[in-house]
Structure 1
């Protein structure tokens, strides 16, 4: 009987150590913008992470640089926990990022007014309340009288690119083709 107890205790100790290992922690090695960062995995692989359920202003948009700076100040160089939701169409990991003390980066962005709750992908009442409180307190981007949501900003950017592409005249390549033909016919 004592041998079984000893083995059980040893097993539980090993299980506890395995569960508490910090192998699930990633180091934040880059902040691309307010809601996108690069993490270094325990296996030394870089993982680009898009924060779930939030949408920060684009870098070229009002408060875009401030959102990036906020995210950087909050977590750059720190060890974080990654809770993966899925992958997006760009191959990025979409998920929640928490500091070692349990602070959610996603929630802090919304709470401090540097991100919208991304309602197309989030139905969280807590996130909605955090955004509402930031709006009422006029924090971050809510200082602006009429901030443009990033999804509308991106839509406008896409429409401008399409219009600009249609306005540009197409380049003529006839000169190059004639020259190639001429070089093909020259005998050496």
Structure 2
């Protein structure tokens, strides 16, 4: 045994007795729950704001706000054609309603990315179904079935699909970066 291991064992054996044992078990449980929560899980609460067609904020029962990016879809930016209509559609679906979010990831901006259901309506799918979003091709893992929903909206010329060749948000953002 290394000196560090011996020191740990000397500290750990007395710590595992009596009241300390309970504290260590509770600490370990708290750490495990924290790791599990950060890796996924779900959030329930009321939608208190809608930023755009793929981002909203949920207020949970502990009064903590969670900024959520809808998984698998990309909606037009607010300044882009159909951007305001997309935001309005997500507001109709979710604003001031109870939501359940199944967290699938965290994005580079620190937002939780999730499957969002508002009043028993799967918002991610409905945004595609009504033609207010694209399947987010860069992040479509686990959402292959979204393509059929998008194709149906395209064929019916719903929402942004009334335009013969709407610009996807990822291309629009890229073109804006080039101009800046």
TM-score by length of 2: 0.74
SS state at 1:80 partner:
strand
For the residue of structure 1 that corresponds to 2:138, the secondary structure is: coil
SS of aligned partner of 1:97: strand
Q: Deviations over 1:110-169 (max 9, x none)?
A: 0110000111111433200000000000000000111000000000111111xxxxxxxx
- 2:106 matched to 1:104? no
- Map of 2:135 onto structure 1: 117
Aligned to 1:75: 94
Question: Contact between 1:53 and 1:121, CA under 8 Å: does it hold in 2?
Answer: yes
* 2:179 aligned with 1:160: yes
User: Counterpart of 1:139?
Assistant: 158
Please list, as runs of the form range in 1=range in 2, the aligned pairs for 1:1-188 lying within 5 A after superposition: 24-101=43-120, 103-123=121-141, 124-161=143-180
Q: How many residues align?
A: 138
Q: Is the 8 A contact 1:24 1:42 kept in 2?
A: no
Partner in structure 2 of residue 3 of structure 1: none
The answer for unaligned runs of 5 or more in structure 1 is: 1-22, 162-188
Task: Give the TM-score, by structure 1 length.
Answer: 0.71
